[in-house]
A and B are shown apart, each in its own frame.
Chain A
Amino acid sequence: MALYSEKVMDHFRNPRNVGVIEDANGVGEVGNAKCGDIMKMYLKIEDEIIKDVKFETFGCGSAIASSSMATELIKGQPVSEAMKLTNKAVAEALDGLPDYKMHCSVLAEEAIRSALDDYNRRKGEG
């Protein structure tokens, strides 16, 4: 058996939504280099809908695949729906992750949440 599912390998080899959104109105970064994983999410939200999402990730194959899948799951979704994203949903959409890699999906959930929190904070200030 391979280390990762075909889905994980596909999202790792061809990550979706890679990059930066210059005029993002929600940005979140989680993890730290000491532990070997950092994810950064950029959101462009209009009328409470996630119009665009991009990510940058420093990490292993499953960290990159989890970031990619998480962006796919929330793209085009209302903010209220995106807030409900769970790490389980990310892992399931990837046809599962090895047990010791589940933290990668947790990190993806936290990165999305952090970017949404940033959006809500900015909105509150605006």
Chain B
Amino acid sequence: MQIYADNAATTRMSRTAIDAMLPYMEEIYGNPSSLYSIGQRAKEALEQARSDIAAVIGADPREITFTSGGSEADNQALLSAATLGKKQGKLHIVSSAFEHHAVLHALKRLESEGFEVTLLPVHENGIVDVREMEAALREDTCLVTIMTANNEIGTLQPVREIGAVCRAHGVPFHTDAVQAVGHLPIDVKADNIDLLSASAHKFHGPKGVGFLFARRGVRLTNLIEGGAQERGKRAGTENVSGIMAMAAALKEAAAGMAENAARMTALRDRLIAGLSEIPHSALNGDAVRRLPGNVNFCFEGIEGESLLLLLDDKGISASSGSACTSGSLDPSHVLLAIGRVHDVAHGSLRLSLGEDATEEEVDYIIRSVREIVEYLRGFSPVWRDLQSGKTPFIL
């Protein structure tokens, strides 16, 4: 059985998305900035895509800027808010401890340029406390940036409440919605979102394309200087075929969203129930307030990479927050942020189901994980010490 259970990393492109991109590679390949007809037809298509995307999140087409993906959108959002802040003498930013590195590393750079960053705790359940967020606001806060859904543990942040508080205090609010767009309903107006990042390949579109929503009045700062594309805010000939595919994928995702979310939530909960039966294991993050397809566990006494390799042998593609999969000595900053100690965080497993997942697949994953965890524990000196009582169990 071949099961792709790493949809939080990337997704397979949908047939609709692939079909949507081909004409813009083979026939309507003109440069949207050119005046002849195949250029202008590409331009029209591009603007249609912009409208379609805007409609899904309740935005105005003029508020959508196409980017190379989520990381670029995050970087541009943060730089733009920081630039506006600096002009007003506001150099304080509020964020959370478990943001994506695209946000955390951009914040690090801003810190080196004189900004002060408050990283809110995300607690054991992996959710920011709105009261703590409000308490962190200062007179000189120029931005609040909190993700919509965490990329590792899938926990959903109270975006609407955060947006309302930010609006009341007059502070711009950015959300990295890369994991949520196309999977959960988003309404930038109702949620009081000023800036939002999204990436096509997380919702069955192509890699290398995404978008930044910026509410009208929020002036963007360029990351890339050059031509006048994207109202002068993002230079470079537009990735027309990619953008067409992104729009098609998002429309398709939005149309099936409620149905998919309900079915995937049921499968997710079945997977969580099955894996919970493995002794000394624990679900990471809130059991309910999480993405429909996200399951993230820690298994005591084993290391994540070996688990992934053996799962791969069984045809299951998954990921882990262990140090060995990140190429660093520390395990996932997300797991550490929710209070998992190093010893346990190394034994983590993230399974992110796709819309086409079945009960049969979920049951196969449960059996496989159970078997492999048992096997690896069988020759783990850590497990031996836990079992003999030499060291106490954590989970």
Mark A residues whose CB is within 8 Å of B.
9, 12-13, 15, 18-19, 29, 33-40, 55-64, 100-101
Contact = CB atoms under 8 A, between A and B. Distances in A.
Interface in B295-335: 301-306, 309-310, 313, 322-325, 327, 329, 331
A36 B322 contact: yes
Contact of A57 (B305, B313, B381): B381
Contact of A38 (B325, B331, B382): B382
Given A33-B342, A36-B323, A59 B379 contact: no
A93 B156 CA distance: 47
Nearest to A13: B313
B379 A18 contact: yes
Contacts of B384: 56
B342 A34 contact: yes
B interface residue count range (under 10 / 10 to 19 / 20 to 34 / 35 or more): 20 to 34
Given A33-B342, A33-B382, 7 more contacts: A9-B309, A13-B313, A34-B342, A35-B342, A40-B381, A56-B380, A60-B304
B346 interface: yes
Interface of B: 301-306, 309-310, 313, 322-325, 327, 329, 331, 342-343, 346, 379-384
A110 to B, nearest CB: 14
Main secondary structure of the interface of A (DSSP, over half): mixed
Given A59-B303, A59-B324, A63-B303, A38 B329 contact: no
A16 B322 CA distance: 25
B379 A60 contact: no
Given A33-B346, A40-B381, A64-B306, A58 B313 contact: no
A29 B305 contact: no
A35 to B, nearest CB: 6
Contacts of A58: 301-303, 380-383
A66 B383 CA distance: 20
A100 B305 CA distance: 14
Contacts of B327: 100
Contacts of B346: 33, 36
Contacts of A34: 342-343
Contacts of B329: 35-36
Which 7 pairs of residues, A with B, have the shortest CB-CB distance? A60-B324, A60-B305, A33-B343, A40-B381, A36-B346, A58-B382, A34-B342
A33 B327 CA distance: 16
A91 to B, nearest CB: 16
Nearest to B324: A60
A100 B329 CA distance: 10
A61 B381 contact: no
Q: Which of B302, B306, B323 has the most CB of A within 10 A?
A: B306
Contacts of B331: 36
